[in-house]
Amino acid sequence: MGCVLFELLTLTRTFDATNPLNLCVKIVQGNWTMEINSDVYTSDLIKLVYECLDQDPEKRPTAEQILEQPVISRVRAELEGRVAALEFQPSETQVEHGDGDAGGGGDDALEGGVFLGRGEVHSSEAGHV
């Protein structure tokens, strides 16, 4: 979890090396590629990322503990609200079939569709992405 968060915030690999042996050494030593910019991210978020990167697995927070962190729970509540507000719009393929079915894949299938996150599904078969 720590590596994923680190890479999302820095847009760089957590550990980078020219060969597998050097990569292993950097991981064991905990030599990250760079620091997280404190001008951009809160100290709480940075602290959480570094806790997740702790060399001792017993000291790392569990997934449940991460979700309980105020910095995460605030964003989580906002994102859950956005997801709940999304409305499903049928793709062109589903409209053509007339029953909301994307070619026989069932009600929850989105074959040939790309969810855009704005309540829209565009058919990739029709050249829309």
102, with CB counted inside 10 A (0-12, 13-18, 19+), is buried
**2-82 classified as CATH 1.10.510.10:** yes
The two counts, helices (H) then strands (E), for the chain are 6, 2
pLDDT at 79: 85
Burial of 108 (0-12, 13-18, 19+ CB in 10 A): exposed
Q: Bridge partners of 114?
A: 122
pLDDT tens digit sequence for 44-72: 999 999 999 998 999 999 999 999 999 88
Q: How far apart are CA 58 and CA 49, in angstroms?
A: 15
pLDDT tens per residue, the chain (129 residues)?
899 999 999 998 989 899 999 999 988 888 887 788 888 989 999 999 999 999 899 999 999 999 999 988 888 888 888 888 776 656 677 666 665 544 444 444 444 433 344 444 444 444 444
Adjacent-strand bridge partners of 115 = 121
Q: What is the pLDDT of residue 97?
A: 67
In this predicted structure, what is the pLDDT of residue 32? 80
Q: Where are the domains of the chain?
A: 2-82, 92-123
pTM comes to 0.57
Number of alpha carbons in the 13 Å side-chain half-sphere of residue 7: 8
Q: Which residue has the tokens 């078969």?
A: 125
Taking residue 78's Cβ as centre, other Cβ atoms within 10 Å add up to 10
The neighbouring-strand residues paired with 122 are 114
pLDDT of 114: 38
